[in-house]
Structure 1
Amino acid sequence: MLKADTVKPTLAQVVADRKQEMSPGRRFVEACAEHGLDAAVEYDVTITDSLTSSRRKPRNPARTMLRTVDLSRDPRQFYWHESAPEAGDAPIEGAEVRRELASRFGKSPIPELLTTTAWVQVPPDLWKDPETFETFINYRLIVRLCTAENVTIISGEGGLLNLPGIERMTSPGPFASAILRACNEIEQMGGTADGMIINPVDYYRAMGTGRLMDDLEQNGVFIVRTRLVEPGSAIVGDFGHGAQLFDAGRSVIRFAEAPEGTFTEPGIALKAEIYERVVVNLPTNFFVVSV
């Protein structure tokens, strides 16, 4: 039998534990008090995953959809993946029903992680009020970092929208929506459509004209609303088993000089960085659909 202290904590326990920990903002405030504008703090966690939201209405970031591999604690050399059969491949018995039997298996080295960066400009002397400065870091700088992280995961150079092997689906076929058709196709591949990334305009338009969004959520589809998917499209996939987020397990916040064009006027700036990259193990279990 497992000892009590080895059992994975519940979400409620995780939230309670985080409330007892020093927040990223508080750690930086203390460093600033000691080092002034030379302050820099290196964290042994990815700080976009270190704060709980106080919003009554959840707004889920893309990272919450993915299995995260912290490479600092769980180093890897490779990741596995499957791909659709190619023309000329020998027919596989049973693949007419279980399509995945015809898939090709492969492995690739862990790709170089991408740097995700966020900037904020600090109002003059804000650091003289430690409590306000802490909340500015936690709920402005890190929130902006969460948005930049969505770019890395969804629409950046290594994001889901730019990865090979993910098909586009423009027609609903025999279904009322291409979203539902994609959910069916994923199950026909042996997976489960457990997540969708959609532009807010399409989410709220669907809410105003029917029950599709409510039905999807009640059926266990985890929905992320973000501007980073073009209106009129959505990503539907088996996020739980079909993709991973490789994460360096470290972060940095420091005062720094921002690149030209970052702000509208001169001023003291804070920079935050994390390091990560998404990979897709089962590209056949993902679709970019027309909504």
Structure 2
Amino acid sequence: MLLDDPELRRRGPGEEFALARARMGDKASVTLRAAISDLFPPAQRRPRYTVRHLLRKAVIGTDSDEITVFRERAAPDDESAAPEWGFQVGITATGLQTITAAVPVPDEILADPAALAAFVDFRLLVRLGTAENDVLLNGKGGDGILGLLHHAGVRKVNDPAGTVADTLIATAALCERHGGSADGMVLHPDDWWPLLGDGFLDRLTSAGVKVSRTRMVPPGTAVVGDFTAAATLLDRRQSTIRMAREGELGIGGAGIVAEIQEGLAVHLPGHFVVAQLPTVGAIKG
């Protein structure tokens, strides 16, 4: 069943699925012309960037699961003032994949359309956002997404420069070494929250830098980059919410599955830097 409200002006994903469940029972499945990981309701009143929100997006209309994109590489040891003059320009094939999240659901929730709609919007969608963060950062590639932490050409900094704030500033400067403009960072919550104390996050915001916090990057690690110019989220703008198939969750009982289709094209891997942050003791010192 296709979405009845394609622009989601009257109903959210949970309400659409509750309507499908009322019509189709245990075979309920609804296709939405949207990326539902963008639609987690609490994000409207407490904005929290996911990795998706840092990236430039391109809507993909082709039925192919493989997209050809451009990619530029710098010479490994090029220390010239403007190393981008020597970049090698080529192409690469980027795979699209279906990202999936599934949760068990009690029968009492399934029997109540209002409770079911809330369950989808407030539990299933947040699980999907977590799965998406994991794939965009840690995906293994092959026929699907190769995450940012695994791309060849992404630079690494293993020696922290003073405090966490000092290290992030130095890493942002290094990100611009190849002509980029650092506009995004990904941090673990353990590293994000301490930065509130001295207003450092506010200063990043005033400089146009968005910060995503997620448990899908290891504590003590930061991904800093020109997310707008260096990579593109290839978005099919197609999502599905459906009842889980028998045995799909690996446990007994009913479940609900959410799926989105997308890919990640990294055009300028050298515009991303993965930095190791100092320990808590170094933060205080």
Q: Report the Cα distance in structure 1 between the residues aligned to 2:176 and 2:138, rounded to whole angstroms.
A: 25
Q: Secondary structure at the match of 2:107?
A: coil
Pick the structure with greater CA Rg. 1
For residue 226 of structure 2, the aligned residue among 233, 238, 245 is: 238
Deviation at 1:217, TM superposition (A): 2.3
Q: Secondary structure at the match of 2:153?
A: coil
Q: Report the Cα distance in structure 1 between the residues aligned to 2:247 and 2:168, rounded to whole angstroms.
A: 41
- In structure 2, the CA distance between the partners of 1:79 and 1:28, relative to structure 1 (3 Å rule), is same
| Contact persistence 1:119–1:258 (CA under 8 A) | no
For residue 91 of structure 2, the aligned residue among 99, 107, 120 is: 107
For residue 265 of structure 2, the aligned residue among 279, 286, 291 is: 279
Q: Secondary structure at the match of 1:72?
A: coil
Percent identical: 34
Report Cα offsets for 1:25-71 as digits up to 9, x if no partner.
Answer: 11111111111111111222222124543564322111011111221
Alignment partner, residue 112 of structure 2: 129
Deviation at 1:24, TM superposition (A): 1.4
| Contact persistence 2:232–2:265 (CA under 8 A) | yes
- In structure 2, the CA distance between the partners of 1:130 and 1:285, relative to structure 1 (3 Å rule), is same
| Contact persistence 1:195–1:221 (CA under 8 A) | yes
Deviation at 1:172, TM superposition (A): 4.5
Amino acid aligned to 2:18: V
- In structure 2, the CA distance between the partners of 1:287 and 1:259, relative to structure 1 (3 Å rule), is farther
1:166 aligns with 2:166: no
| Contact persistence 1:70–1:246 (CA under 8 A) | yes
Q: Secondary structure at the match of 2:172?
A: helix
Report Cα offsets for 1:146-167 as digits up to 9, x if no partner.
Answer: 1111111112222111111101
Alignment partner, residue 169 of structure 2: 180
Alignment partner, residue 288 of structure 1: 274
Deviation at 1:218, TM superposition (A): 2.2
For normalisation by structure 1, the TM-score amounts to 0.82
Amino acid aligned to 2:130: T
Amino acid aligned to 2:84: E
Deviation at 1:174, TM superposition (A): 9.1
Q: Report the Cα distance in structure 1 between the residues aligned to 2:234 and 2:206, rounded to whole angstroms.
A: 29
Q: Report the Cα distance in structure 1 between the residues aligned to 2:134 and 2:47, rounded to whole angstroms.
A: 19
Deviation at 1:19, TM superposition (A): 6.5
- In structure 2, the CA distance between the partners of 1:258 and 1:226, relative to structure 1 (3 Å rule), is farther
1:120 aligns with 2:103: yes
Q: Report the Cα distance in structure 2 between the residues aligned to 1:135 and 1:226, rounded to whole angstroms.
A: 23
Report Cα offsets for 1:101-123 as digits up to 9, x if no partner.
Answer: 111111123x2212211111111
Report Cα offsets for 1:166-220 as digits up to 9, x if no partner.
Answer: 0111234699722211211222322110000001111123334x44333222211
1:62 aligns with 2:48: no
Alignment partner, residue 25 of structure 2: 36
Which stretch of the first structure deviates more once superposed, 168-177 or 144-153? 168-177
1:47 aligns with 2:36: yes
- In structure 2, the CA distance between the partners of 1:174 and 1:20, relative to structure 1 (3 Å rule), is closer
Q: Report the Cα distance in structure 1 between the residues aligned to 2:193 and 2:43, rounded to whole angstroms.
A: 22
Q: CA RMSD in A?
A: 2.6
Alignment partner, residue 79 of structure 1: 69
Alignment partner, residue 81 of structure 2: 97
Report Cα offsets for 1:63-120 as digits up to 9, x if no partner.
Answer: 0111112212798952111101257xxx9xxx832221111111123x2212211111
Which stretch of the first structure deviates more once superposed, 127-136 or 254-263? 254-263
| Contact persistence 2:104–2:249 (CA under 8 A) | no
Alignment partner, residue 255 of structure 1: 243
Q: Report the Cα distance in structure 1 between the residues aligned to 2:49 and 2:135, rounded to whole angstroms.
A: 15
Amino acid aligned to 2:202: D
For normalisation by structure 2, the TM-score amounts to 0.83
Query: How many corresponding residue pairs?
Result: 265
Amino acid aligned to 2:167: A
Q: Secondary structure at the match of 1:177?
A: helix
